């Protein structure tokens, strides 16, 4: 996978996320659809209330899974979590889950190897990004890599490359934090039916990702 191909794929990813945010924003703007979604979230919050601690564990595990596999996103559960525990606890649990997922994907790449990682995210992604990184890649470049690409990719690739684990964890923690905050506030704005604010904040998050993507590909030496 060439750098231009990688850039095009990431641009498509940004567009897809933008479209999804717009669709969810339109749902929030519709009284009928929002009421139905809200009723579903309230029901789910009631289920979680039966066993709050178990609910927290499940939420962290779902966030962990979403950080390891492209087919799943824990963001859809953010409104339920905000209803059940509030923004602060939800942010901590989501951040913890994403960190655990990143660490687990790194360990898969490092200790189980390329074959297992390829079964999870695909050989093409690994080959393409591995050709652009190395064990000695500078921290700032890893930081941009972690921030700009889908979260399920960096851990596997850097684990395979045997990148320094402590640097990877710091980059992971720093780059996931703003996305955690964004997801939590998006969940709250959706619950409140603030469609305009939801869409604006969503596209701010998208703009941040696109900006980091542009910086990442501007440096041909990464």
Where are the domains positioned within the chain?
3-218
Confidence band for 221, pLDDT divided at 50, 70 and 90: very low
Provide the CB-side half-sphere exposure for 39 (13 A, CA).
6
Identify the pLDDT of residue 102: 94
Question: With the CA atoms of 41, 43, 49 and 53 taken in that order, what torsion angle do they form, in degrees rounded to the nearest 10?
Answer: -60
Provide the CB-side half-sphere exposure for 81 (13 A, CA).
30
**Tokens representing 47?**
């289920």
77 Cβ contact list (under 8 Å, min separation 6): 59, 62
* Residue 152 main-chain phi, psi, to 5 deg: -80, -10
Distance of alpha carbon 53 from alpha carbon 39, whole angstroms:
23
Identify the pLDDT of residue 128: 76
The 10s digit of each residue's pLDDT in 35-85 is 888 888 888 888 888 898 999 999 999 999 988 886 567 778 889 999 999
**Mean pLDDT across the chain:** 82
- 23 burial via Cβ count (<10 Å: 0-12, 13-18, 19+): exposed
- Give the highest mean pLDDT range of 28-32, 70-74, 162-166: 162-166
Distance of alpha carbon 105 from alpha carbon 84, whole angstroms:
29
Across 162-179, average pLDDT: 92
Closest CA to 88 of 176, 175, 181: 181
């Amino acid at each position: 996978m060439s750098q231009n191909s990688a850039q095009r794929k990431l641009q498509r990813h940004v567009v897809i996320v933008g479209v999804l945010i717009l669709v969810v924003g339109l749902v929030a703007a519709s009284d009928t659809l929002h009421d139905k979604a809200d009723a579903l979230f309230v029901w789910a919050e009631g289920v979680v209330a039966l066993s709050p601690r178990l609910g927290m564990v499940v939420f962290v595990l779902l966030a962990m899974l979403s950080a390891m596999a492209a087919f799943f996103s824990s963001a859809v559960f953010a409104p339920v979590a905000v209803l059940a525990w509030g923004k602060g606890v939800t942010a901590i649990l989501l951040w913890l889950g994403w960190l655990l997922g990143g660490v687990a994907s790194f360990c898969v790449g490092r200790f189980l190897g390329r074959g297992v990682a390829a079964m999870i995210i695909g050989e093409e992604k690994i080959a393409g990004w591995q050709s652009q990184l190395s064990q000695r890649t500078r921290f700032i470049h890893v930081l941009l890599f972690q921030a700009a690409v889908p979260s399920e990719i960096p851990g596997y690739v850097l684990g395979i490359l045997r990148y320094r684990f402590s640097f990877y964890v710091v980059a992971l923690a720093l780059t996931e934090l703003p996305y955690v905050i964004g997801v939590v506030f998006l969940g709250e704005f959706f619950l409140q039916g603030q469609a305009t604010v939801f869409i604006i904040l969503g596209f701010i998050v998208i703009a941040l990702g696109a900006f980091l993507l542009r910086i990442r590909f501007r440096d041909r030496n990464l």
